[in-house]
Amino acid sequence: MGATFEKATEDEVDFLQEVMVEFEPDLAAKRVTVAFLFARGETTDAGHYKPPLVKKGVRAIADVKINSYADRVEGKSDATIRYDVEQWDQHSDAVRRAVLHHELHHLMLQMGEYGVKTDDAGRPMLKMRPHDFEVGWFKDIAAIHGHNAVETHQAGLLLDDAGQMLWPWAPDAPKPLDAFDKSIRSRASRAAAASASAN
Ligand SMILES: [Zn+2]
């Protein structure tokens, strides 16, 4: 049967709308409409769990798609966000907000000579904003090829470009660590200790 989908409740749609108004006000100002669906995975007869949203073979938390002009004419919203319901259930509101903001951030208004371009249905035209960082790394490749591996090279670039932003718990962090930073730092040092003893 595959993944199943259900519409978010009115409260959850309001939550998404609040995230848009707060963090992506340009989209809200142009009244970009975004449908909100929950996706549920399935367990096969053999007992194998299949997650509902998969990107490049890896389970995803959520995704977003821009709907075509024809779909919009048919009554669909301008875009659709799908969120893995099992992960939603485990997430705090703060994490949900960050995930929804991430998906909304993919949506960019297409600008023309006279401002935001609209399609023949009068809807704002959108395009996808790509990630600033895309990570696709193999542990084995980094382990075997060391500093010659793309994995190691990219990790170094990330540390240089965005170290304090992405890794606020880094050893040279300029600010006092909060509980989250501390938990990540202790997880990182446990992992380092484990790999050191394994070598
Ligand atoms: Zn993304």
What does the angle CA 27 – CA 62 – CA 153 come to, to the nearest 5 degrees? 95
Tell me the whole-structure pTM to 2 decimals: 0.83
Domains of the chain plus CATH, in order, are 4-128 (3.30.2010), 139-198 (no CATH)
Q: Which of 119, 115, 31 is nearest to 69 (CA)?
A: 119
State the distance from the centre of ligand 1 to the C-alpha of 52, rounded, in angstroms.
16
Q: Where are the alpha helices (DSSP H) in the chain?
A: 10-23, 25-29, 69-73, 85-90, 93-105, 139-145, 150-166, 179-198
User: What number of helices (H) and strands (E) belong to the chain?
Assistant: 8, 12
**Does the pLDDT at position 174 exceed 70?**
no
Determine the length of the chain: 199
State the distance from the centre of ligand 1 to the C-alpha of 181, rounded, in angstroms.
23
State the distance from the centre of ligand 1 to the C-alpha of 101, rounded, in angstroms.
10
The pLDDT tens digits of the residues spanning 73-116 come to 999 999 999 999 999 999 999 999 999 999 999 999 999 999 99
